[in-house]
Structure 1
Amino acid sequence: MARFDPYADPSLAVRLALAGLLLVAAAATAGAFAADPEAAAPSPVAYDDVVELGLSSETDALMAGSARVPRTEVFYSQLQYVVGYNGVESFVATVGDGRTERQFGYPITVYVETFDDARPGTTETGLFRSERLGEWTPAEEAVYVVGSEARSPAGETVVPFRERDAAEAFVADHGGRAVDWEVVRSRSFDTDSAAAVRGTAPDRWTAADERIAAAERRADRPVSVVVSEDAPTVEAAVAAAPANTTVVVPPGTYEETLTVNESVTVAGEDARIRGDGNGSVITVRAPDVALTGLSIDGSGGQTRDPEAAREGRDGGDGTWDTNIQLGYGHGDAGIRAIGAPGLVVDDVTIEANASGLLLREGSHAVARDLRVNGTDEWRDGFMGITGMQSRVTVTDSVFEGGRDGIYLHRADGSVVRNSTFADNRYGAHLMYTGDALIADNAFRNELFGGVTVMTRPSGNAIVGNDVRNSSAGIQASGTRTYVGYNTLVGNELGFSTSSRGSLYERNVVAGNDEGARATTVVPSSRVVANDFVGNADHAGAGAGALRIWADGDRGNYWEGANVGTHEPGERAYRPTSPVDAALHREVAAVAVRESPAVALLDRLRGTVPGARSGSIIDPAPAAAPYSPDRLAAALDPDAGPVGADWRAELNGDTGTTTMDTRDRNATGGSIDPGARPAGPTTAPPTGGVADA
């Protein structure tokens, strides 16, 4: 197949390109009208077969007892997938905004889960529950209870019923009122969103400050025992110390292992505790223990306990989740904490053969000025910090080498900030962990990724990080994730839009092999106000509907998008189009970009489902970068990590806040017009909403 050569004779190049574009257009129209409009409405499908949006089903699974989230199934006219919404209100938020219809077509059939015979009610904490799953009923035939006491983790819950009598009975027991579908469609619901997560990021930083201050107070205790003066070993001194006192460890190397069973502070002064190469060096089994001023080495090299994992397989629930907790949480470590909430680790260095700091069973900890030096080969070591069902607050720390810098498993509410990660498999790796803040960290040379979030968590904020020379900068799954103000330079992939109902804004994406990649099959996230410069490919997309990366008349800045005869911002930009994708690399591509055939294909893409698959469009590319200072610093080879004053901006202190958190839509709010970069404000050729 002939390829477009930008250095060939322009007239020949244009003729070849136009011919190819017309063939694409013809192929796109073939079969576009194959669906029979007279066909009967499709029947509900098994919910396991839908593409889920709305509240994460992982959150649903974690709710106590028989708590549930009423579900909705929607068949769209231009989408080959059935979309499932966890929460009726999640679907309602998309009905009237015009954005979903622009990408998926109109909803031809909608089913809701009705609970007439499922004995519905509420849990002790107010969550909606039922003794069994509901039955599928056409949405327009159902009766809905709104304003009741029933809730979900995301807010108010709409409860559907097949018969009005059943709905009225629920109202009698739980309040609210029974309404029809048209009333539900017209309501606005106070549901959690990525915009809300955005607004909470500064509060999470403040909460971390408070935890650190409280940790300082816990660690500041009167001295009771001095090693070598009052006791011969550290182990003996810790055993002799009364609760809420300090054990002082003078300079020197202490070849021993110890267990801390009392709430004490172990304070070293240039002191090293060295194990014998077996098991963990320090084990903590009491609350409010503080370990400060220590160097630790000599742990065993067992990264997981085969016996614990075997017990999980034989006697546990057999799930992957349980097996990971039992395996990963029972290896060796420099410091191991078991059922030890309130742990403080400050000014500590660990030479780690396996994990550096291992937390499990609610050992919520604060780690400040912690340095973990892992193994040179990641397969030989383990995690800098392993947190199993234990919230961790990490600040001003360094993690080099080993498997993962920090691995958190069901550690909701954790904060990792102001820290440095280098030469790990993953830098920060979260599993089943939500409502976390990963902020203002530097990641370098991470083999698999800088920040990676897996297994469908919810409500994470990944803000102000600088990731370079790694396989991927940020890959976050789940729902309602806020990814903003990050600097992603020189990676194979800058970021992926793997999280549903999320917001990606104000990121500087420069010099990557691929700047960003749309990975969700059904787009539901916003990608807006990001700067894409110097990437081999600015963006790519997997299979799925058209992704519109803009918010109304505000898009992203794409180097090369505004070349040509049109005014900046006047013409849409398609980073997944072979022609548009070359504009920042090959100036000669503009001849094809301005051709009538491309204009025809642009219009075709907007109306034909076959031409939408696997593509991205920004209908309002910005005329200038949104973050020019950060962009310049990111491209300076002599500059260090690039930071952003995101807390001031998100708090509105600078007047440049970019997201209106009052918008109740499940995917976020609207961009503040005051934050638009300088340049023409010509209206885009089509409306848009940022959807990944």
Structure 2
Amino acid sequence: MAVFAPDDNRSRRVRLAIAAIMTLAVVVTAGAFVIDPAESVPDPVAYDDTTELGLSSETDAMMAGNATLPRTQVFYSQLQYVVGYNGIGSFVASLSDRRTERQFGYPLIAYVETFDHRDPDTADGGLFTATGAGGWTPAEEAYYVVDSDARTPAGEAVIPFRNREVAESFSADHSGTVVDWESIRNRSFDIDSAATVRSLAPSRWQTANDRITEAERTADRPVSVVVGEDAPTIDAAVEAAPSNTTVVVPKGVYHETVTINKSVTIAGDDARISGDGNGSVVTVRAADVAIRGLRIDGVGNRTRDPEAARASRDEESEAWDANIQSGYGHGDAGIRAIAAPGLVVDDVMIETNASGLLLRDGSHTVVRDLRVDGSETWQNGFMGITGMESRVTVTDSRFEGGRDGIYLHRADGSVIRNSTFTDNRYGIHLMYTGDALVADNTARNELFAGITVMTRPSGNTIVGNDVRNSSAGIQSSGTRTYIAYNTLVGNELGFSTSARGSLYEHNVVVDNELGARATTIVPSSRVVANDFVGNDDHAAAGAGALRVWADGDRGNYWEGANVGQQPSSERAYRPTSPVDAVLHGEIAAVAVRESPASVLLNHLRGTVPGARSGSIIDPVPASTPYHPERIDVVTSPDSEGAEPVHADWRAELSSLTDGQDTAHENTTNRNTARAVGDYK
């Protein structure tokens, strides 16, 4: 029995299309399968065997042991993978999105996790909990409790039960209502999406402004001690200064190390602190410390503490994560802060072969006008800023050489903006860090990538950055990521679509070896309104389902896509097809593209989603670039060495009208059993 049976006309079209393709002897299925739901319905699988959508690893960790999220697993007609949805609402939302059907085919059957014999209840704060392993019930056969006092980290709690009496019992205990599947699939869910993250970008910029303003107030303190007049050394001056006052460091070179264990401002006047090459030069162990106007060198070259890393492995924590936090967080630095929230670092220059600024244990910091010069080879150095469980707000700074310009680990809410990264391994490298803003930065000659986000965080915004001449421009994993208005030029790879449930838009991707790479096996992100110009290859896709890079009537601009006899509105562009991929470089390819056989084959490929598994299609390619002014700047003869290009994304986002670009993400979600379109 199938929950979602296709209409007979669509099934007939699918079978005719497959027969025609076989007649042409073209192999296009690439491992996808077609199931006739009248003949067989697959049984549920272990949830760990599904391709999971809907949660970040941080939410997974938060829920471990104290919360449960009802799950759904879905079999699609043109997808060889079983898709797992975290939360009932996330699957229902997908039913209203035509891109899902284009890419996966129609859903054959959906199973929901039911909780009849699992002691369902709520924990502190109302989080839904349950014990043991649940059963799987076809979605149309289950009963659902809604509007109860139970909640989940993913939003509204919809809790399925196989038996109506059990559902009614839970509903009575938790002030809910019992409904059937028809009611659920026609229900509106407030699903947190990449569009939500986009709407937060301007306010995150303003939050950074507010943090900087507060930092200026913190640093502005009356002078109490002047080094050389009231105390012989900086360390002695700090010891003598009352809290909430300023220690002035006159011009000169001070051969010492300094420990700051009270809330004071250290204000240098062209002063240099030079360590002896062992350990950290300045150590901060107090809240609300400000360090301004200093030059620091003589840092030790220890980048990790092997003993701390070994000790962490004995604790009850995830070994790899603990090893990184303990090993990376215990090296040498120009400035080392331990449990020092409210730190301000302003107008400071650090020369180091280890870390420039090392933050640990909640040392939330505002950084402005910091320059870190690291090692010439990245293997011999470390991070310009290392932030371990410490949020940073970085602006107007420069990082050159060393391993990573900025490395943040569990530093949610950080902001990195208006800064420059050159000759690093990674310019900006985030791990387990979500809800961050990375904006208007410049990266050049980065060995691995300009901006890299790893380990499935959620809610990051990467906008307005200019990355050139690097191995990769932007590589971001995680969920609900907004990647937009970036300028990516002359890299081996412009960007990869590694983030799930994310939005890639208004990026200018020019003269890269590969413009973009589709990497997720089950596509769940939107790629729209980007400009691809002059790339050796505009886009490539790894294994997985068909990727539809468009949204409604908006696609992307692909140089060469609109060359030929057919109007662009009547022809899709396939950057992964052998012919379309070379249109912008070989005009002779147009003759092949416009041949009757090619047109027929493309039409058939448009009819059967599985026939393009592992490929990309843009059904509505734009006839002109979305951002010609940015393209003109980066392709002009004198663009080499010119100023970076940063789009005015704040003005653009502020001008968005209510509902624009969000019609396919939110509002009422309904299963309308649409026919598979030909989306040529």
Pairwise same-fold verdict (TM > 0.5): yes
Stretch deviating more after TM superposition (595-604 or 486-495): 595-604
Q: Which residue of 2 aligns with 1:124?
A: 124
> Residue 110 of structure 1: CA displacement?
1.1
> Residue 66 of structure 1: CA displacement?
1.2
Q: Distance in 2 between matches of 1:444 and 1:153?
A: 39
Q: Distance in 2 between matches of 1:657 and 1:629?
A: 26
Is the contact between residue 455 and residue 477 of structure 1 (CA under 8 Å) also seen in structure 2? yes
Q: Distance in 1 between matches of 2:81 and 2:204?
A: 37
> Residue 118 of structure 1: CA displacement?
2.3
Q: Which residue of 2 aligns with 1:613?
A: 613
Distance 1:97 1:31, change over 3 A: closer
Q: Which residue of 2 aligns with 1:297?
A: 297
Q: TM-score, normalised by structure 2?
A: 0.92
Q: Which residue of 2 aligns with 1:42?
A: 42
Stretch deviating more after TM superposition (607-616 or 214-223): 607-616
Q: Distance in 2 between matches of 1:357 and 1:538?
A: 39
Stretch deviating more after TM superposition (451-460 or 175-184): 175-184
Stretch deviating more after TM superposition (521-530 or 608-617): 608-617
Q: Distance in 2 between matches of 1:133 and 1:202?
A: 43
Q: Which residue of 2 aligns with 1:139?
A: 139
Distance 1:483 1:92, change over 3 A: same
Stretch deviating more after TM superposition (49-58 or 535-544): 49-58
SS in 2 for 1:322: helix
Q: Which residue of 1 aligns with 2:666?
A: 665
Matches within 5 A, 1:163-202: 163-202=163-202
Distance 1:406 1:512, change over 3 A: same
Is the contact between residue 373 and residue 402 of structure 2 (CA under 8 Å) also seen in structure 1? yes
Matches within 5 A, 1:68-467: 68-467=68-467
The residue type equivalent to 1:665 in the other structure is N
Q: Distance in 2 between matches of 1:446 and 1:22?
A: 47
> Residue 191 of structure 1: CA displacement?
1.5
Q: Which residue of 1 aligns with 2:525?
A: 525
SS in 2 for 1:315: coil
SS in 2 for 1:408: strand
SS in 2 for 1:451: strand
Q: Distance in 1 between matches of 2:471 and 2:150?
A: 44
Q: Which residue of 1 aligns with 2:648?
A: 645
Stretch deviating more after TM superposition (220-229 or 147-156): 147-156
Q: Distance in 2 between matches of 1:254 and 1:302?
A: 22
Q: Distance in 1 between matches of 2:632 and 2:162?
A: 59
Distance 1:201 1:31, change over 3 A: closer
Q: Distance in 2 between matches of 1:307 and 1:337?
A: 19
Q: Which residue of 1 aligns with 2:560?
A: 560
Distance 1:271 1:133, change over 3 A: farther
Stretch deviating more after TM superposition (565-574 or 535-544): 565-574
Root-mean-square deviation over aligned CA pairs: 2.3
The residue type equivalent to 1:519 in the other structure is T
Q: Which residue of 2 aligns with 1:591?
A: 591
Q: Distance in 1 between matches of 2:610 and 2:81?
A: 14
> Residue 64 of structure 1: CA displacement?
6.8
> Residue 132 of structure 1: CA displacement?
3.8
Q: Distance in 2 between matches of 1:353 and 1:645?
A: 36
Q: Which residue of 1 aligns with 2:52?
A: 52
Distance 1:667 1:405, change over 3 A: farther
Q: Which residue of 2 aligns with 1:624?
A: 624
Q: Distance in 2 between matches of 1:373 and 1:307?
A: 27
The residue type equivalent to 1:84 in the other structure is G
> Residue 662 of structure 1: CA displacement?
6.7
Stretch deviating more after TM superposition (384-393 or 116-125): 116-125
Is the contact between residue 509 and residue 531 of structure 2 (CA under 8 Å) also seen in structure 1? yes
Q: Distance in 1 between matches of 2:164 and 2:122?
A: 19
The residue type equivalent to 1:645 in the other structure is D
> Residue 160 of structure 1: CA displacement?
1.5
Is the contact between residue 284 and residue 340 of structure 2 (CA under 8 Å) also seen in structure 1? yes
Q: Which residue of 1 aligns with 2:3?
A: none
> Residue 173 of structure 1: CA displacement?
3.1
> Residue 114 of structure 1: CA displacement?
1.6
Q: Aligned pairs, how many? A: 651
Q: Which residue of 2 aligns with 1:470?
A: 470
SS in 2 for 1:321: helix
1:354-377 alpha-carbon deviations (Å, 9 max, x no partner): 111111111110000011111000
1:56-76 alpha-carbon deviations (Å, 9 max, x no partner): 244221247411221111111
Is the contact between residue 94 and residue 665 of structure 1 (CA under 8 Å) also seen in structure 2? no
1:36-84 alpha-carbon deviations (Å, 9 max, x no partner): 6555422222222211111224422124741122111111111000100
SS in 2 for 1:578: coil
Distance 1:310 1:667, change over 3 A: farther
Stretch deviating more after TM superposition (58-67 or 266-275): 58-67
> Residue 112 of structure 1: CA displacement?
1.2
> Residue 33 of structure 1: CA displacement?
7.3
Distance 1:87 1:635, change over 3 A: same
Is the contact between residue 517 and residue 540 of structure 1 (CA under 8 Å) also seen in structure 2? yes
Stretch deviating more after TM superposition (262-271 or 46-55): 46-55
> Residue 136 of structure 1: CA displacement?
2.0
Is the contact between residue 650 and residue 657 of structure 1 (CA under 8 Å) also seen in structure 2? no
Stretch deviating more after TM superposition (100-109 or 489-498): 100-109
SS in 2 for 1:205: helix
Is the contact between residue 444 and residue 468 of structure 1 (CA under 8 Å) also seen in structure 2? yes
Is the contact between residue 121 and residue 128 of structure 1 (CA under 8 Å) also seen in structure 2? yes
Stretch deviating more after TM superposition (126-135 or 327-336): 126-135
Stretch deviating more after TM superposition (98-107 or 290-299): 98-107
Q: Distance in 2 between matches of 1:310 and 1:242?
A: 39
Structure 1 unaligned blocks of 5 or more: 1-20, 669-684
The residue type equivalent to 1:56 in the other structure is S
Q: Distance in 2 between matches of 1:351 and 1:316?
A: 37
> Residue 666 of structure 1: CA displacement?
10
Q: Distance in 2 between matches of 1:384 and 1:464?
A: 22
The residue type equivalent to 2:444 in the other structure is R
Q: Distance in 1 between matches of 2:212 and 2:123?
A: 35
Greater relative contact order (Cα < 8 A, sep 6+): 2
> Residue 154 of structure 1: CA displacement?
3.5
Stretch deviating more after TM superposition (608-617 or 586-595): 608-617
Distance 1:290 1:79, change over 3 A: same
1:439-469 alpha-carbon deviations (Å, 9 max, x no partner): 0000000000011000000000000000000
Is the contact between residue 480 and residue 501 of structure 1 (CA under 8 Å) also seen in structure 2? yes
Q: Distance in 2 between matches of 1:331 and 1:666?
A: 50
Distance 1:125 1:295, change over 3 A: farther
Q: Confirm whether residue 506 of structure 1 aligns to residue 486 of structure 2.
A: no
SS in 2 for 1:288: coil
Structure 2 unaligned blocks of 5 or more: 1-20, 670-676
Is the contact between residue 195 and residue 667 of structure 1 (CA under 8 Å) also seen in structure 2? no
Q: Distance in 1 between matches of 2:55 and 2:664?
A: 17
Q: Which residue of 2 aligns with 1:672?
A: none
> Residue 311 of structure 1: CA displacement?
0.4
Q: Distance in 2 between matches of 1:159 and 1:407?
A: 40
> Residue 242 of structure 1: CA displacement?
1.0
Q: Distance in 1 between matches of 2:29 and 2:372?
A: 58
> Residue 116 of structure 1: CA displacement?
2.4
Q: Distance in 2 between matches of 1:153 and 1:473?
A: 32
SS in 1 for 2:551: coil
> Residue 266 of structure 1: CA displacement?
0.7
Distance 1:563 1:22, change over 3 A: farther
